[in-house]
Structure 1
Amino acid sequence: MTILLVALGAALGAPLRYGADRMIQARHDSVFPWGTFTVNVTGCALLGFLVALPAGDEVMAAAGTGLCGALTTYSTFGYETLRLAEDGAKTYALFNAAASIGAGLGAAFCGMAVAQAVIGA
């Protein structure tokens, strides 16, 4: 049953990531990968929120592993960062790496804080 919940969450997360990435990137005339950055930070915030809730294993399988796992994309982050460096945009590559890690950790922390405020912890 758990694998079906993960698959269901991933079936929602992957097209959500693709659509959000394309929509966000289309609004920016920049080599910086704003779409990937945005979905990764959003996924970190959501996972931080979920982890801090008293959610059961089923919720974490579907929403945490499935949805957040498919919504976020480490491989695309890595590829886009290397592509920026190879194309001569080394400053953008360094900014992407540093900002993605910093914003992702910050978003996860904020997600956890919001969940704790909601449940009154």
Structure 2
Amino acid sequence: MTRPPLPAALAVVALGGAAGACIRALLLQAWPIDASGFPWATFAINVSGSFLLALLPALPAVRRRPLLPPLLGTGVLGGYTTLSTWSEQTRGLLAAGDTAVAGAYVFGTLAAALLAVVGADRLSTLAQRVRFDEEEGDL
């Protein structure tokens, strides 16, 4: 499969990113975060986004369509997950003196996201992942 033309790839990344960011905003609004509590909504968003991103190579429909990886991976899931919110919420927890909660949030998110990636990775073969990486490139 050939790479999609750059203008088309950029367009689907932009559309996907907007959709992912809107989904994240709706979820964060539906489950507001208490300033001194564990940010469960952002935690769930980042862990589920990690799982879904790692799952893409296992999906034949994604592997067969050159615009789906940049749309879903870089676009939707890039807009959906959020390192900046994770960082800011950690800063807020530390500023409030909730060091234990901040530590649990930082290391819990990392551990859960890595476990999600390992779980999703097991749903695809090495050959599928290599082919996916070759086709998607650095978008």
**TM bucket normalised to smaller:** 0.7 to 0.9
Counterpart CA distance in 1 for 2:31 and 2:57 is 27
2:44 is matched with 38
**Mapping of residues 99-110 of structure 1, within 5 Å:** 99-110=108-119
Counterpart CA distance in 2 for 1:88 and 1:12 is 35
TM-score of the superposed pair, with normalisation by structure 1: 0.85
* CA positional deviation for 1:115: 4.4
Counterpart code for 1:66: G
* 2:48 match: secondary structure: helix
**Mapping of residues 1-121 of structure 1, within 5 Å:** 1-25=8-32, 31-53=37-59, 55=63, 56-116=65-125
Counterpart CA distance in 2 for 1:78 and 1:12 is 22
Counterpart CA distance in 2 for 1:111 and 1:25 is 28
Q: Percent identity?
A: 33
* CA positional deviation for 1:25: 3.2
Cα RMSD of the aligned pairs, angstroms, is 2.1
2:132 is matched with none
Counterpart code for 1:46: L
Counterpart CA distance in 2 for 1:79 and 1:32 is 13
Counterpart code for 2:13: V
* Runs of 5+ unmatched residues, structure 2: 1-7, 129-139
Q: More helix per residue: 1 or 2?
A: 1
Query: Are the structure 2 counterparts of residues 70 and 86 from structure 1 closer, same or farther at C-alpha, using a change threshold of 3 Å?
Result: same
Aligned residue pairs, count: 116
Contact in 1 for aligned 2:12/2:70 (Cα 8 Å): yes
Counterpart code for 1:93: A
Counterpart CA distance in 2 for 1:61 and 1:83 is 33
TM-score of the superposed pair, with normalisation by structure 2: 0.75
